Amino acid sequence: MATIHERLDEILPRLKEDKFMEGKGLGNEIGYYVFDYASEYELLVRDHVQFVKEEINNSNLGVKIVEFDLYQIMLDILEDKGYLEKTIKMEQKAGKERVLRATKNALKLLNDNNLLVMHITERVEEDTIVFLTGVGKAWPIIRSHTVLNNLHAAIDQVPVVMFFPGTYNGSELVLFDEIKDDNYYRAFRLVE
């Protein structure tokens, strides 16, 4: 079994493969990928994501990586809508469950006009690789399978890689190796 360092070292060569950008998925669509890892390696993975971004973005490959930290996007949207301070005060008065519901509603996470998905799609251009990070930080408000399902319907021209602190076996996402998310069958493991 490969170590985390060996698996991280496989990311850059994988992204540089011609077939990655052509990445045919199950229905001949652009691929969606998950890089899963034990949550204890979060800081190591974050550093490596930055390294890979710099390597690709400073190369002459004609492709750029755009990273979207789901937690930061959530905070930015709440701040832009004037809800962030209200959310903090609401949690102090009404508790975590109330804030969870209110934040999901404010982000329209279950609607067709999902603000998180709109934020990402508005910033994706041709010849881009999308990196999704901050999955663990954004839980339980933002669920990884929901993000992938909604993005799959909105982004089909560029590859998407989700960095997932947990286990993905090709059909099931288990956050922190403890919290089973709904099944998701459309993504490939980026590195075995």
- Does a cis peptide bond (omega within 30 degrees of 0) precede residue 165? no
Q: What is the pLDDT of residues 93-117, one digit of tens each?
A: 887 888 888 898 889 988 888 999 9
pLDDT tens track for 116-167? 999 999 999 999 999 999 999 999 999 888 888 889 888 888 999 999 999 9
Report field, pTM of the whole predicted structure over 0.75: yes
What is the chain's mean pLDDT, rounded?
89
All structural domains of the chain, each given as residue ranges with its CATH number in brackets, are 4-69+114-189 (3.40.50)
pLDDT tens digits for 33-71? 999 999 999 999 999 999 999 999 999 999 999 999 999
